[in-house]
Structure 1
Amino acid sequence: MSQSRHIWELELEPLDQEDREILEEAEKDPNAVTTSTTIAQKLGLFSTCCMIINRIIGTGIFSTPATILKATGSPGASLLLWAAGAFVSFAGLMVYMEFGLSIPRYTQDGQSKAVPRSGGEKNYLEYVFRRPRYLVTCVYGVLFIVLGNTSGNAISFGQHALRARGVSEEEIDNCEWQIKGIAIAAITGACLLHGSWRAGGIYVNNLFATIKCLILVVFIIAGAVHSGKGGNRNTHNLDLDCSFVNSSGNATAMSKCPQNRDMQDHQWQMYGFSQSFLLVIFAYGGFENANYILSEIDRPKRTYKLASILSLGLVTFLYMLVNIIYFLVIPREEFLNENTQLALEFFKTIVGSKHSAHVDAAIASFIAFSSFGNIIVVTFVGSRVKQEIAKEGVLPFSRLIASDMQTPFSWFRNAIFRSSDDYKSENTPVAALFLHWIFSFILVIAPGTTDAYLFLLLLHSYALHVCAGFLLAIGMLYLYFQKNSTWRQESGFKPLGGWIWALLYAVVNAFLICVAWLPPPSRFKTLILDQIKYNVYPIVVFSLIGFGVLYWVGFAHLYPRYSKRVLDVKRYPIIRDGVQIYEAVFFNWVFHTSFHPKPAIVY
């Protein structure tokens, strides 16, 4: 390290001699790296909540409810789907929480103990699927490095930034390279922020999460006030006699609810419900965001649990109220209009059409703001996961990508305040941020813009939420029911209901994996994607999985056979009070297996 004093010499709790020797050895070894997040820099409860909320709340709540109503033909069914999506997300959270608080396991004082670590699904899949060695790491690494980025939200940001400047919907399609330029600028700005000032990136993330919640509260209050003052209340949308009625051919029901006659081309169908549920699940995606950065969280066994439950609960509450308010304010026929932009129609109904231009710009600004908030949080989180993947040694330039660098902000601060009492080194994974930027840039440039946002969102969610979630749930069931299982005793978190949550999560994700391959009926062909064939995104995802397998063959078999060397990676976490504060990682391609005298991770 470049400082005259070692970071660990300035900790409130000094390290023991063995830990100090490991860090000093790593500092001298050209094939080793040390990473750190000191106690003072750990994320507290509020920041952890903001990391989750900023990730979950995106642009979907501003438009998805209209698509869901078109597909289901029923306000009541739409609300039930949103509630069901929250329940399934809670089931997923229980699975992620049990994994996150149970593994990896380390030997301390002769005992095997669980210490939460960043990396999310990577750690859990490696724990369950240990053979063949490196297969899971390579496949997951390919998926996350390629798809775990901000390209979709960056394109959405570019589109709505132009809309906020007054570019019409019809003109947007002719502004492809302007949109891509704005998207690349947004990605670059987020990477520079997190690369130059770690704490500043966290402050900005917290601000965005707070404002996003306030925006939804404004929607709810505005709609409630409008309805309470005698506005165009569409109470029939929430009337039990009409809310679940569609064009079922029931003449009695239709006579009670004549406003449902416009639903005749929107019958309830399994395909409509399945695709609607897919969109709802995607809208709740991000509840697992804290699992990716557990090493960055203070007292994770308490903070992580509380933050995850509070965040998902708050978002569910806001989402349900926003949907109810939409149905109270907007007539059902407007939901079905192909040209209706839901949030825009909502405020036009409240303030009147004479202010439509200002309302259009304001709503576009809201959505652009929400998209940029996602860019901020995904950049912070995604770079940490890429760093964890690199620590396994499976990437080209793994040592570089796995390393931390002192931020320029920290360097300037330490140059001004030279007293050791004011010294706090702030490090960030600059190389991992650059890797994140490269693939975000490629995916922004590659597709067109008409379906680009939703297509990239589907790629990311299908691979890293649905497929990975299914494997995690199956893995959890395996840990519970394998012969001579000790998981129930070793688990660091025992949710009420135990394995039932994993079973529910596995079934739902299996359903979502399969439904993506189903061809839509003609009336639903443009329900989600307009210009891209319905099965392109699952084909791309499984192609990337295949590429990950080929990469593993080359990395784990062909290169070692050609070079007659094998990869030897040792990771040594430095832990205080159940929290990882440093880690030393040693990378070596050796001609024979070598072992370090101190045992590292035990599985």
Structure 2
Amino acid sequence: MERSKERCGGEGLAEPKPGGGSRELRLRREIGLWSAVCLIAGCMIGSGIFMSPQGVLVYMGSPGASLVVWAVCGLLATLGALCYAELGALIPESGGEYAYILRTFGSLPAFLVIYTFVLVGRPAAIAAISLSFAEYVVAPFYLRCSSVPQVVVKGVAASSILLLMLVNCWSSRLATMLINVCTVAKVLSLLIVIGGGAVVLGQGRARTEALLHAFHNTTQQAGRIGIAFYQGLWSFDGWNSINYVTEELRNPQQNLVWALMIAIPLVTGLYILVNISYLLVLSPNEILSSDALAVSWGNQVIETWAWIVPLAVMLSTFGSVNGVFFSGSRVCYAAGREGHMPRLLSMVHLHCLTPAPALLFTATVALVLIILGNFITIVNFLSLTGWLTYGTTISCLLYLRMKEKNLPRPYKVPTVIPVIMLLASVYLVLAPIIDHPQMEFLYVFLFLVSGILVYFLFISFRCQPKCLKMATLHLQLLLEVAPATKSFD
């Protein structure tokens, strides 16, 4: 036992069952309320607030409309979190949307969720954020160059992914500590931006002309409004991250709701104030033309201390990658446990009690996806699949309200909230497709069709290669992992 603790950051095996029974191998409940708040805020505050303001502004056409979009995005995230809190109390399993859809609508819809989430969703989010982190790390070394070599950027991004994979495999406690530290640094960095904007306003140097004509040139096209929401909602992505790790949350029925209600309004308020600060310092044209929005702001406001801004962005994006890594691997782990992914992915390290195979798999796919296209294309793809999944998950809540009226509900939201969320999800999925069709929407459709074929071939008809069991056995021995039990206590 002592050797196990030495090898894995002080964590040992789970406690034996009362009465001297065999030990349970499972993920430990290491996440308290403070860590839960930091996980949610840490996943939400990433590269988005430093890059998405440009995307929202270019599609909405006016500063005032873009601020409205940011506020509504925060409201949608809050309403969605309330719905997810009720689902989390009803179905206290790790896996988030996957677990809720599986228990409500069955195997095929749940598999399509996990197929998209594991193969594209989380790894692509990790890849996009790590590339943002790498650009800010590399930029100071190429100040006199017109562009930064992409090979170097991708090398730094890959290195950050590998480092975080090792941290998460070594110790869940260490990973949550890193999340907590980075979240504090992120909030402080946003407060610096907000404070800088307030100082500029107080000195009379603020550019108020954009705010005086705040809604001039606002777009009226439903498709462009939908894509503007995609860009804004990308910055709020992660509001549901705590639902992925429910089995590791202490006192989940109480802490789940409290964590959501503290973290999301806090982040929403910070985002709106940061956007106002950007508009007080930079003109809309400067915002749209800037390659690094936060750096452009810093060069005009804090000048000799402008290096603080890229440092803050680096900490923000690094912490966000870690949070997405931590929560996303748990979905992969939950899917392996249910047979929708290879069984190996549901196993836990014997000594560290971390889902090491799921972490390794997520990291591998993210490394492959680092070669993907530009930031806005990735965001549009992820936002479409994300809100398709969110809408399906919210419909689970409405379905359970009608079909399972007698289920005990420790926490319940007014019915109007899931109805609003469902309508918003339908709009965010259909409006951009109908009014502003793009190739990535076709890619999503084709990807879902391929998921149906994979499901019937490998899950329904169980057409599995004979070598898979042997490979699983060898990898299990190599990685020192074993099947885990569920945690509902």
TM-score range, shorter chain: 0.7 to 0.9
Task: Identify which of 445, 453, 475 aligns with 2:396.
Answer: 475
Query: What aligned pairs does 1:184-223 form with structure 2 within 5 A after superposition?
Result: 184-223=158-197
> What pairs up with 1:121-520 in 2 under 5 angstroms?
121-130=97-106, 134-147=107-120, 148-149=122-123, 150-167=126-143, 170-172=146-148, 175-230=149-204, 232-239=205-212, 242-244=213-215, 246-247=216-217, 268-335=220-287, 337-339=288-290, 341-351=292-302, 359=306, 362-396=308-342, 398=343, 400-406=344-350, 426-445=352-371, 447-448=372-373, 451=374, 453-463=375-385, 465-481=386-402, 485-487=403-405, 489-495=407-413, 498-518=414-434, 520=436
Partners of 2:39 and 2:323 within 8 A in 1: yes
Please list every run of 5 or more consecutive structure 1 residues that lacks an aligned counterpart in the other structure.
28-33, 104-115, 248-265, 408-425, 521-533, 564-569, 580-603
Conserved 8 A contact 1:227-1:233:
yes
User: Residues 327 and 554 (structure 1 numbering): CA distance in 2 closer, same or farther, change over 3 Å?
Assistant: same
Q: Which moves more between the two structures, 504-513 or 541-550? A: 541-550
Asked whether the equivalents of residues 130 and 160 of structure 2 are also in contact (C-alpha less than 8 Å), the reply is yes
Could you state the TM-score of these two structures normalised by the residue count of structure 2? 0.86
Distance in structure 2 (CA, Å) of the matches to 1:571 and 1:163: 44
Please say which structure displays the higher CA radius of gyration.
Answer: 1
Matched-pair identity in %: 25
What CA RMSD, in Å, does the superposition of the two structures yield over aligned residues? 2.9
Q: Compare relative contact order (CA 8 Å, sep 6+) and give the higher one, 1 or 2.
A: 2
1:550 to 439, 447, 453: 453
Higher strand share: 1
Change (3 A) 1:298 1:87: same
Change (3 A) 1:75 1:15: same
Q: Which aligned pairs between 1:61-100 and structure 2 lie closer than 5 A? A: 61-100=49-88
Q: More helix by proportion, 1 or 2? A: 2
SS in 1 for 2:26: strand
Equivalent-residue separation in structure 2 for 1:95 and 1:16 (angstroms)? 36
Determine whether 1:56 maps to 2:32: no
C-alpha separation between the residues in 2 aligned to 1:372 and 1:444? Answer: 15
**Cα separation, partners in 2 of 1:284 and 1:489, compared to 1, 3 Å:** same
**Structure 1 residue 547, shift from structure 2 partner:** 2.1
Kindly report which structure 2 residues correspond to 1:30-45, keeping only aligned pairs within 5 A, or say none.
34-37=25-28, 41-45=29-33
2 CA distance for matches of 1:510 and 1:168?
A: 47
Q: Deviations over 1:40-75 (max 9, x none)?
A: x52111111111011001112123223323332332
Q: Which blocks of at least 5 consecutive residues in structure 2 are unaligned?
A: 6-10, 467-482
* Cα deviations by residue, 1:320-353 (Å, 9 ceiling, x for unpaired): 1112222222234433x5346432332222245x
- Please state how far the C-alpha of 1:16 moved relative to its aligned partner: 4.2
The answer to whether the 8 Å contact 1:140/1:548 transfers is no
* Cα-to-partner distance string for 1:512-541 (whole Å, 9 max, x where unaligned): 112332464xxxxxxxxxxxxx62332233
Distance 1:46 1:225 in 2: 31
- Structure 1 length-normalised TM: 0.71
